[in-house]
């Protein structure tokens, strides 16, 4: 299985996603500040992977705290969690993972410091292992929704690289292919950061899953030509009513799909569902640097000084979404009810 990140005694290791697909380089983050930088600069990216990375970064920082009493530990731990929380605002998995590490800290805070440190490392490793299991279960839940044969369009990268392994949207595709379905993936290149071109195409080709790369503005034409039977994407945050934030451009794809009568599926772990946010208007959208738009591969492609907008995510209203696939089951409209119900159930494991 393709690996994205791992915990070692010398630090947290990441495959550098800014260098793929031309270079496969692993970087070692030996300090928690380096892990925060890796998240901010998108060496590691994708909502679930950001959560796992943050948990490992927190465990690393806590392990290296040079403290003699619990109140010093608590101060240092708080500082580490704060820094992690300032890396990227949209993927709720980041805050979910930080909360989970904080809860674990509170549970074990009465123990001797070396045992607290070990408990936090164990918790980060649990989050890592659970993410892979969650993706497999999501794959099993979503595979029946994929066409027996035909084209499936995806946007951005919701694959192994965006998680601890296997992927969410690409996990569903992998499970469908493993079940014998003849799926051909259409990968939007995903301007401006090109996660589709650089990452989705790369990881699917590694798995010998048929994939055709298209630029984002070709999606409508592919649909009109009957080449797309379903759309499946991941999510960074799903509001209680089903409105879903995902990579910029997802909203346009969903509208195109509606026009062509093509179902849109979201695949995401339940940790991406934010029941405290009633609808998409409350989801914070990250704005990234203008140079991501004005430059391509380090080369300037727009006039110096041009005004630029670069929202990294958009919100697809729930009415465009056929179903939300999670490890706890598949939610359909009305999502306010179905998501809340899933919130009360436990995941069935495959």
Q: Which is nearer to ligand MRU, 137 or 168 (CB)?
A: 168
Exactly one of 236, 243, 274, 327 binds ligand MRU (CB under 6 A); that residue is 236
Q: Say whether residue 195 binds ligand MRU (CB under 6 A).
A: yes
Residue 229: phi and psi, rounded to 5, are -105, -20
List CB contacts of 214: < 8 A, sequence separation 6 or more.
186, 187, 188, 189, 222
Q: Does 134 bind ligand MRU (CB under 6 A)?
A: no
Residue 139 within binding range of ligand MRU, rule CB under 6 A: no
Closest CB to ligand MRU among 47 and 330? 47
Nearest partner of 232 among 312, 146, 308, judged by Cα: 146
Q: What is the dihedral of CA 154, 156, 159, 160, to 10 degrees?
A: 160
117 touches ligand MRU by CB under 6 A: no
CB 25 within 8 A of CB 19: yes
Among 15, 20, 143, 156, the residue binding ligand MRU under the rule CB under 6 A is 156
Residue 239: CB minimum distance to ligand MRU, A = 15
Residue nearest to ligand MRU (CB): 234
Query: Hey, how many other C-beta atoms are within 10 angstroms of the C-beta on 18?
Result: 15
Q: Contacting ligand MRU (CB under 6 A), which of 56, 62, 140, 235?
A: 235
Task: Answer yes or no: are the C-beta atoms of 307 and 119 closer than 8 Å.
Answer: no
Query: Binding of ligand MRU at residue 51 (CB under 6 A)?
Result: no
Number of residues in contact with ligand MRU under rule CB under 6 A: 18
Q: Quote the least distance from Cβ 234 to ligand MRU, whole Å.
A: 3
| Torsion angle of the four alpha carbons 137, 200, 261, 257, in this order, in degrees rounded to the nearest 10 | 120
- Centre a 10 Å sphere on the Cβ of residue 161 and count the other Cβ atoms it contains: 26
Catalytic residue check, 236: yes
Binding positions for ligand MRU, rule: CB under 6 A: 45-48, 91, 156, 158, 162-163, 168, 195, 233-236, 246-247, 312
């Amino acid at each position: 299985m393709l690996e994205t990140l791992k915990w070692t005694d010398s630090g947290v290791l990441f495959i550098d996603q800014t260098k793929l697909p031309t270079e496969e380089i692993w970087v070692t983050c030996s300090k928690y500040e380096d892990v925060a930088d890796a998240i901010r600069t998108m060496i590691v990216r994708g909502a679930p992977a950001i959560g796992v990375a943050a948990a490992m970064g927190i465990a690393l920082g806590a392990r290296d705290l040079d403290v003699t009493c619990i109140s010093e530990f608590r101060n240092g731990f708080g500082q580490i969690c704060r820094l992690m929380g300032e890396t990227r605002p949209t993927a709720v998995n980041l805050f979910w993972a930080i909360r989970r590490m904080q809860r674990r800290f509170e549970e074990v805070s009465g123990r001797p410091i070396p045992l607290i440190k070990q408990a936090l490392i164990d918790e980060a490793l649990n989050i890592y292992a659970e993410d892979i299991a969650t993706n497999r279960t999501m794959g099993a839940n979503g595979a029946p929704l994929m066409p027996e044969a035909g084209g499936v369009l995806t946007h951005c990268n919701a694959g192994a690289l965006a998680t601890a392994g296997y992927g969410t949207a690409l996990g569903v595709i992998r499970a469908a292919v493993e079940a014998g379905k003849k799926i051909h993936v259409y990968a939007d290149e995903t301007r401006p950061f090109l996660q589709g071109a650089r990452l989705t195409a790369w990881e699917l080709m590694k798995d010998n899953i048929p994939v055709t790369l298209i630029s984002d503005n070709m999606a409508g034409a592919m649909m009109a030509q009957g080449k797309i039977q379903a759309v499946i994407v991941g999510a960074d945050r799903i509001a209680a009513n089903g409105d879903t934030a995902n990579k910029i451009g997802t909203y346009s794809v969903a509208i195109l799909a509606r026009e062509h009568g093509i179902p849109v599926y979201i695949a995401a772990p339940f940790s991406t569902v934010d029941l405290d946010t009633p609808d998409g208007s409350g989801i914070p959208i990250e704005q990234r640097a203008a140079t991501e738009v004005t430059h391509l591969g380090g080369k300037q492609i727009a006039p110096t000084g041009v005004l630029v907008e670069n929202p990294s995510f958009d919100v697809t209203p729930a009415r465009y979404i056929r179903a939300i696939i999670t490890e706890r089951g598949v939610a359909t409209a009305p999502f306010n009810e179905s998501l809340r119900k899933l919130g009360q159930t436990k995941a069935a494991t495959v």
